[in-house]
Chains A and B, each alone.
Chain A
Amino acid sequence: DGGITQSPKYLFRKEGQNVTLSCEQNLNHDAMYWYRQDPGQGLRLIYYSQIVNDFQKGDIAEGYSVSREKKESFPLTVTSAQKNPTAFYLCASSDYRTLSGANVLTFGAGSRLTVL
């Protein structure tokens, strides 16, 4: 079955450490996204990529970095510069070039990062 795989599901990190969250999709989607979810704040866009080797900052990119070397993969690094990294991170992908033009996102199951 096609879908999005995020790993790890749970991750603990000490302050000052960088961590990388993995996101892999086999849907052949061009676009991929990273969202951060905090209680009561909905989903906030961190980075997105519409094509390999290109990506754009979202609304809360500070303290995060990404790469898009392959169509299937869009890893997110949470750096030590991110002041409050404890959150639930969601990866999504879409084939935005649909007939209707609607950008329907398919989500992974998420990764929960806790900073100790």
Chain B
Amino acid sequence: AQSVTQLGSHVSVSEGALVLLRCNYSSSVPPYLFWYVQYPNQGLQLLLKYTTGATLVKGINGFEAEFKKSETSFHLTKPSAHMSDAAEYFCAVSGVHGSGNTGKLIFGQGTTLQVKP
């Protein structure tokens, strides 16, 4: 079974400050990990994904995340927050499609990022 826990439903930072959104997962198979962003009343947009290889993954809009197997974590960071980063962020996990695994995504509950001027 797979699950995702996002620590903190709301995170508030000042513009220019470091953004850190936490995600921990559990998975009985090697995980694929994703971060999605959602702006109000819109669909989700992929920020970045980890499949295999390099554990530090760079995404769009200056975001990056590091896969730490020993900590079962996939935290999302951005060195300097911008007002336009205010949105809801979702971490998700899946297994490799095939061998009886449908590759369905399991989403965390989401973290709302507020950026203060």
Interface: B18 (CB within 8 A) = no
**Chain A residues, Cβ within 8 Å of B49:** 102, 104
Against B, the Cβ 8 Å flags (1 = close, 0 = not) of A22-52 are 0000000000010100001111010010100
- When the two chains form their complex, are residues B43 and A40 in contact, meaning their CB atoms are under 8 A apart? no
**Chain B residues, Cβ within 8 Å of A108:** 43
CA distance A96 to B44 in the complex (A): 17
**Chain A residues, Cβ within 8 Å of B9:** 40
CA distance A110 to B42 in the complex (A): 6
**Chain B residues, Cβ within 8 Å of A40:** 9, 109-110
CA distance A35 to B90 in the complex (A): 14
Against A, the Cβ 8 Å flags (1 = close, 0 = not) of B79-99 are 000000000001000101110
**Chain B residues, Cβ within 8 Å of A58:** 104
- A to B contact number (C-beta, < 8 Å): 72
CA distance A111 to B94 in the complex (A): 25
Q: Say how far B66's CB is from chain A's closest CB, in angstroms.
A: 17
- When the two chains form their complex, are residues B43 and A109 in contact, meaning their CB atoms are under 8 A apart? yes
Interface: B105 (CB within 8 A) = yes
Residues of chain B at the chain A interface (Cβ within 8 Å): 9, 32, 34, 36, 41-46, 49, 51-52, 90, 94, 96-98, 102-105, 107-110
Closest 6 CB pairs of A and B: A107-B43, A103-B103, A42-B109, A101-B96, A43-B107, A100-B51
Residues of chain A at the chain B interface (Cβ within 8 Å): 4, 6, 33, 35, 40-43, 45, 48, 50, 56, 58, 88, 90, 92, 94, 96-97, 100-110, 112
